[in-house]
Each structure stands twice: as C-alpha cells, then as structure tokens.
C-alpha cells in the first residue's frame, strides 16, 4: 500500500451497486486510474456497493485507501456476518475510536462515533478534492455539504460530480434552475464541476479553478 500518496481524493458514492452495470464499471475504472496516478482514496469505509468497488480497485493496485465509518454503520456497510465483524472490531467500537484493518483488501479503516466526525475527517484528509459518484441521500448530502463549505470559504478544493450515464442530469438542471431563480449566483454555480468519464474526473480535479464570488470569511476551526 502506498504510504504517502501524491494527493488524496475523497469519493462519495452509494453503498449499493445501483441497477446499471455502468455504475460499477465506472467505480472500478476510477479506482484504477486514481492508483495509476498515485492518488490516494479516502471514502466512507464500506465494502459493499460502489464504495467497496472503488476501494478495492485502488487497494488492489497498491494505492492508498483510508475508509472512515461510524460504528453504527459497520454491520450495514461492511461485508461478512455481524458476528464476524463484531469479533474483529469490538474493542474499537467500545472506545469509539481507533483503526483496524477489518479487511486488508479495502485498505485501512478508522471507526468513529458519528457521521459528523466521519465527514470532518474525510474533508480534512482530502487535499486533492471531492468526487460524487452515483448514490442516494447520503451521497447527495455529502457532496452538497462540501460544496457549501467552498461557497462559505472554508476550503478551495475541487468539487466534481461524476455524471455516469447521465445519473446527475436532473440534478444539474436543478442547479441551473436555482441560478435562474436567484438562489445561487452564477459564479458559485461553478463550484461544482461535471465529468462524464473517469479520465474527465481526473482532468477536472487537476485543472480546477476556484471561482470568484465565494464568501471571503474567516474560519478558526474547519
């Protein structure tokens, strides 16, 4: 496993596979590409669905992977029986902290006590930016939170929607509607970059330009 990746990308995505094979293929391809470029992955710590696919694809190529998961979600988003999982991680769960391999093929895992800690840790480690693949409520909430953080001036990192097979087309239309309605400025709408292939995701991350017009606020803790 790469100890010191060139940069680390946070990827938000579903703990399910979705109904289209293209979603799984895209997760695997993006993971392979991240590893090939010596980019690390920080993600939600699951071994199921798209989360598991991208983590395993990076780790299998020798790349750096760090999963961060709340203890309450371990039995839902990790494979294996509940008894097997609990046997491996009980001491960490009891203390609400610590790292445990859980499954070396998915990189290293940190177990935390709550969702807020999970998102904070992922955000702090993601020096290379954030990517949202297809997912549900959680994925959308996570990518919109880091978008809001950018709007508020908390960070200047890239934010990219990986629009696999048009998955985010309607959401992109919503963002345009919010601009037309006067709720999002035109400049701030450019906080979110859109990519349709793994290669374009990397290009958007590498060439991201922080838009003008974001709030110039001072944050002591973020």
| Separation of alpha carbons 55 and 67, rounded Å | 8
Does residue 97 register a pLDDT over 50? no
| Separation of alpha carbons 52 and 77, rounded Å | 9
Provide mean pLDDT across the span 139-164.
96
- Which of 68-72, 115-119, 138-142, 151-155 shows the lowest per-residue confidence on average (mean pLDDT)? 68-72
58 or 107, greater pLDDT: 58
pLDDT in tens, 16-73: 999 999 999 999 999 999 999 999 999 999 888 999 999 999 999 999 999 999 887 7
Assess if residue 216 is contained within a domain: no
Which pTM value belongs to this model?
Answer: 0.85
pLDDT in tens, 79-90: 553 444 444 444
Assess if residue 50 is contained within a domain: yes
Assess if residue 19 is contained within a domain: yes
Determine the straight-line distance between the first and last CA of the chain, rounded to whole angstroms.
29
Instruction: Supply the pLDDT for residue 217.
Output: 74
Assess if residue 174 is contained within a domain: yes
Task: For residue 60, give its domain range.
Answer: 7-206
Place of tokens 């859109």: 194
Assess if residue 217 is contained within a domain: no
Half-sphere exposure at residue 125, Cβ-oriented, CA atoms within 13 angstroms? 24
Assess if residue 15 is contained within a domain: yes
Residue 134: CATH number of its domain: 3.40.50.450
Q: How many domains does the chain have?
A: 1
91 or 218, greater pLDDT: 218
pLDDT in tens, 145-154: 999 999 999 9
Instruction: Supply the pLDDT for residue 214.
Output: 81
The residue ranges of DSSP E strands in the chain, in sequence order, are: 7-12, 39-43, 65-70, 99-100, 108-112, 130-132, 159-162, 192-195
Assess if residue 107 is contained within a domain: yes
Assess if residue 21 is contained within a domain: yes
């Amino acid at each position: 496993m790469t100890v010191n990746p060139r940069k680390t990308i946070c990827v938000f995505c579903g703990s399910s596979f979705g109904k289209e094979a293209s979603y799984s293929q895209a997760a695997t391809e993006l993971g392979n590409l991240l590893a090939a470029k010596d980019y690390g992955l920080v993600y939600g710590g699951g071994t199921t669905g798209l989360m598991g696919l991208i983590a395993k694809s990076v780790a299998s190529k020798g790349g750096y992977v760090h999963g961060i998961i709340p203890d309450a979600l371990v039995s839902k988003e990790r494979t294996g029986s509940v008894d097997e999982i609990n046997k491996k991680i009980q001491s960490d769960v009891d203390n609400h902290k610590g790292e445990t391999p859980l499954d070396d093929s998915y990189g290293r895992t940190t177990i935390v006590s709550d969702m807020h800690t999970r998102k904070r840790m992922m955000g702090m480690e993601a020096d290379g930016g954030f990517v949202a693949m297809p997912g549900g409520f959680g994925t959308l909430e996570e990518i919109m939170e880091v978008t809001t953080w950018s709007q508020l001036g908390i960070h200047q990192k890239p934010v990219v929607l990986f629009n696999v097979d048009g998955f985010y087309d309607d959401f992109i239309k919503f963002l345009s509607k919010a601009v037309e309605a006067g709720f999002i400025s035109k400049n701030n709408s450019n906080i979110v970059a859109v990519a349709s292939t793994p290669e374009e995701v990397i290009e958007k991350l590498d060439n991201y330009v922080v838009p003008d017009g974001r709030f110039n606020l001072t944050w002591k803790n973020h």
